[in-house]
C-alpha cells in the first residue's frame, strides 16, 4: 500500500452518470484500482455551482456511490468518499484561491461554456470551481488523475497552482498528471455529435445514462444522428456522428477502428447502429443490476460514506497541516493526528 502511486478523481452527483463519464473516466477508475492507492470522490460541493434540487442531490449521491462500487471499485481497497464529508477540501480551496490568478480562471473553457449556458447564475463558485478541484487533487498528493479530455485544462491549472505554491514554500505538493484514455476520452452526444455527451443535456435523447433501460438505449442508438453517406469510416471532422459510434463500439469491444471498418464494410448505418447499441447494453447491464442491489442496502452505503470520510480525512489533514504551517497559520486546532 505504502509504495503504490496515488490516484484521485471525482464525479459530480448532478444526475446519473452518462455513458461518456463511464467510458471516459469510471471504466479507468475501476481498471486502475488494484494497481494504485485510489481516492475516488463524489463531489457534492462542485455540484452546487449549478442550482440543485436538494432531495435529488441527496438521492444522487447514494446512486453515484452505488454505481462506483458496481463498476468494480472496492471500498475496502480504495477510499471512496463524499467531498463535503472531508472539510479539508473547502479549507485548502480557500488557501489555493489566494494563489490562483483571476486571469487563469477566466481562461477556463468549462467556465466559459457553463456560464454561457446559464447566464442567470454565473456564481463565484462556478468561477473558482477549478481551484476547489486543485484542492481535491493536491490534498492527496495524487500522481495521476484519470479524467475525460474535457478536464485536461483543469489538471494543467492544478499543476500551475502547485508549481507556484511550491516555488514559494518548498516541495509541499506533488505535481499530478492527467490520465486520459486514447479511445473514449471524449464521447459525443448521439443527437449533436459535435457536443460532449453530458447529463445536463438529456432532453433530446442524445445522452445515455448508466442506469437507462436496454430498450431506451437501443432506441437512442437507432436514432443516432449520422451523415448523408453510407460508409462506416472513422473521420471525426467530416463524419462526427459515425466516428463517435465507432469510438463507442471500440471501447465496448476492444476492437481497433480499422477492424470495425472492415467488419462493417459494405454494410449500412442501419446495420451498424443497433450493433453498437447492443454492445453498450451488454457493457452496462451488469453494472445496472449490481447498482440496484447495492442501493437496496442503505446502511451499507452509509457505512461506506463514513469509513471513506475517515480514511480520506487522515491523508487530507496531513497535507492541510503542512500547508497551514508553511503559510503561517497556527495549526494546533486542526483535528488531532489520528492513527490510521
Residue found under cell 432532453 = 203
| Measured distance CA(83)–CA(40) in Å, rounded | 9
Interacting residues with ligand AQP (CB under 6 A):
11-12, 14, 18, 20-21, 24-25, 147-148, 150-151, 185-187, 196-200
Active site amino acids? 114, 196, 199
The DSSP line for 70-117 is: HTT--TTTSEEEEGGGSTHHHHHHHHHHTTS-HHHHHT-HHHHHHHHH
Q: Phi and psi of 17, rounded to 5°?
A: -60, 150
Closer residue to ligand AQP (CB): 21 or 100: 21
Closer residue to ligand AQP (CB): 24 or 308: 24
Quick check: 22 and 212 in contact, CB under 8 A? no
Closer residue to ligand AQP (CB): 199 or 288: 199
Quick check: 182 and 22 in contact, CB under 8 A? no
H or E stretch covering 179: strand 177-179
| Measured distance CA(257)–CA(250) in Å, rounded | 7
Closer residue to ligand AQP (CB): 147 or 320: 147
The angle, 0 to 180 degrees and rounded to 10, between the axes of the packed helices 54-70 and 298-327 is 100
Quick check: 320 and 173 in contact, CB under 8 A? no
Question: Cβ of residue 37: shortest distance to ligand AQP, in angstroms?
Answer: 19
Residue found under cell 469510471 = 26
Question: Cβ of residue 185: shortest distance to ligand AQP, in angstroms?
Answer: 6
Closer residue to ligand AQP (CB): 46 or 311: 46
- Give the other-Cβ count within 10 Å of 227's Cβ: 15
Question: Cβ of residue 8: shortest distance to ligand AQP, in angstroms?
Answer: 11
Question: Cβ of residue 310: shortest distance to ligand AQP, in angstroms?
Answer: 23
C-alpha pair distances (Å), 255 with each of 2, 238, 251: 36, 22, 7
The DSSP line for 297-316 is: -HHHHHHHHHHHHHHHHHHH
Question: Cβ of residue 242: shortest distance to ligand AQP, in angstroms?
Answer: 17
Q: Which residue is nearest to ligand AQP (CB)?
A: 24
Question: Cβ of residue 39: shortest distance to ligand AQP, in angstroms?
Answer: 14
Closer residue to ligand AQP (CB): 14 or 319: 14
3-state class (DSSP) for residue 133: helix
Amino acid at each position: 500500500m505504502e509504495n503504490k502511486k496515488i490516484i484521485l478523481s471525482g464525479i459530480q452527483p448532478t444526475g446519473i452518470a452518462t455513458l461518456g463519464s463511464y467510458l471516459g473516466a469510471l471504466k479507468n477508475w475501476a481498471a486502475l484500482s488494484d494497481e494504485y492507492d485510489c481516492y475516488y470522490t463524489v463531489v457534492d460541493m462542485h455540484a452546487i455551482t449549478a442550482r440543485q434540487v436538494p432531495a435529488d442531490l441527496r438521492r444522487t449521491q447514494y446512486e453515484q456511490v452505488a454505481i462506483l462500487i458496481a463498476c468494480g471499485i472496492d471500498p475496502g481497497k480504495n477510499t471512496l468518499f463524499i467531498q463535503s464529508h472531508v472539510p479539508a477540501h473547502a479549507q485548502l480551496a480557500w488557501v489555493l484561491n489566494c494563489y490562483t490568478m483571476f486571469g487563469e480562471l477566466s481562461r477556463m473553457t468549462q467556465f466559459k461554456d457553463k456560464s454561457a449556458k446559464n447566464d442567470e447564475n454565473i456564481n463565484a463558485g462556478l468561477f473558482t470551481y477549478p481551484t476547489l478541484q486543485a484542492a481535491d487533487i493536491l490534498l492527496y498528493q495524487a500522481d495521476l488523475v484519470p479524467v475525460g479530455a474535457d478536464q485536461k485544462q483543469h489538471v494543467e491549472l492544478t499543476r500551475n497552482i502547485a508549481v507556484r505554491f511550491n516555488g514559494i514554500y518548498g516541495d509541499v505538493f506533488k505535481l499530478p498528471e492527467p490520465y486520459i484514455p486514447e479511445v473514449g476520452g471524449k464521447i459525443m452526444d448521439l443527437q449533436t455529435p459535435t457536443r460532449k455527451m453530458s447529463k445536463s443535456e438529456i432532453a433530446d435523447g442524445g445522452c445515455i445514462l448508466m442506469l437507462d433501460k436496454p430498450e431506451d438505449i437501443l432506441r437512442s442508438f437507432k436514432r443516432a444522428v449520422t451523415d448523408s453517406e453510407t460508409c462506416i469510416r472513422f473521420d471525426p471532422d467530416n463524419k462526427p456522428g459515425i466516428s463517435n459510434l465507432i469510438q463507442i463500439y471500440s471501447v465496448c469491444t476492444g476492437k481497433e477502428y480499422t477492424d470495425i471498418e472492415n467488419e462493417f464494410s459494405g454494410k449500412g448505418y442501419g446495420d451498424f447502429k443497433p450493433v453498437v447499441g447492443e454492445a453498450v447494453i451488454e457493457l452496462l447491464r451488469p453494472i445496472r443490476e449490481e447498482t440496484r442491489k447495492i442501493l437496496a442496502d442503505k446502511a451499507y452505503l452509509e457505512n461506506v460514506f463514513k469509513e471513506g470520510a475517515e480514511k480520506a480525512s487522515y491523508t487530507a489533514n496531513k497535507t492541510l497541516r503542512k500547508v497551514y504551517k508553511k503559510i503561517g497559520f497556527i495549526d494546533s486546532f486542526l483535528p488531532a493526528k489520528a492513527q490510521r
